[in-house]
Amino acid sequence: MLETAAERRRALTGGAIGLAAIALFVGLAAVSLFFAGGSAAILGIVLDPYILRVLRFTMLQALLSTALSIAFAIPVARALARQPHFAGRVWIVRLMAVPMGLPVLIAALGLIGIWGRQGMLNSLLMKVGLDEPVSIYGLTGILLAHIFFNLPLACRLMLAGLERVPAEYWLMASGLGMRSGSVFQFVEWPAIRQLIPGIAGLIFMLCATSFTLVLILGGGPAATTIEVAIYQSLRFDFDPGRAIALSLLQIALTAMILGAMAFIPRIGDEGLTEGRSIKRLDGKSPRARLADGLLLLIAVLFLGLPLVSIIAAGLDADLIKLLQEPIFWQSAGMSFAISLSAALFSIVLSMAMIRARHAIVSKRRRDVADRIFFSAMGGASSMVLLVPPIVLATGWFMALRAFGDATRFAALLVVLINMLMALPFVMRVLEPAYLVHQRRTQKLAASLGITSLARLRFIDWPALKKPLLTALSFAMALSLGDLGAVALFGSEGFVTLPWLIYSRMGSYRTNDADGLALILGIICLLLTIAGTAGEPRRENGDGER
**Residue 510 confidence (pLDDT) above 70:** yes
pLDDT at residue number 3: 61
**Residue 114 confidence (pLDDT) above 80:** yes
The confidence band for 370, taking pLDDT boundaries of 50, 70 and 90, is confident
Q: To the nearest whole percent, how much of the chain has pLDDT over 70? A: 87
Contacts (Cβ under 8 Å, ≥6 apart) of 506: none
**10 Å Cβ neighbour count for 448?**
11
pLDDT at residue number 268: 52
- 54-112: pLDDT as tens digits: 899 999 999 999 999 999 999 999 888 888 777 788 888 888 878 877 888 888 889 98
**10 Å Cβ neighbour count for 443?**
11
Least confident of 190-194, 201-205, 273-277: 273-277
Angstrom distance (rounded) from CA 212 to CA 519: 19
Q: What is the pTM of this model?
A: 0.81
The number of C-alpha atoms within 13 Å of 430 and in the hemisphere containing its C-beta is 32
The dihedral region occupied by 334, where left means phi > 0, alpha psi between -120 and 50, and beta the remainder, is alpha
Contacts (Cβ under 8 Å, ≥6 apart) of 200: 66, 70
CA-based nearest residue to 62, from 192, 208, 200, 231: 208
pLDDT at residue number 127: 78
**Residue 453 confidence (pLDDT) above 60:** yes
pLDDT at residue number 367: 79
- What is each CA distance from 409 to 153, 177, 387, 397, 494, in whole angstroms? 36, 68, 20, 9, 10
Q: Is 492 or 347 the better-scoring residue by pLDDT?
A: 347
Strands 539-540 and 543-544: antiparallel
Average pLDDT over residues 531-543: 47
pLDDT at residue number 178: 75
- 125-142: pLDDT as tens digits: 777 776 666 778 889 899
| Chain mean pLDDT for the chain | 82
Do 531 and 465 contact (CB within 8 A), yes or no? Answer: no
Domain at 51-223, CATH class: mainly alpha
pLDDT at residue number 264: 72
Helices (H) and strands (E) counted in the chain, each on its own, are 26, 2
- At 236, the amino acid letter reads F
Q: Is 171 or 295 the better-scoring residue by pLDDT?
A: 295
The confidence band for 340, taking pLDDT boundaries of 50, 70 and 90, is very high
- At 98, the amino acid letter reads V
pLDDT at residue number 64: 96
| 494 SS3 class | strand
**Residue 385 confidence (pLDDT) above 80:** no
pLDDT at residue number 369: 84
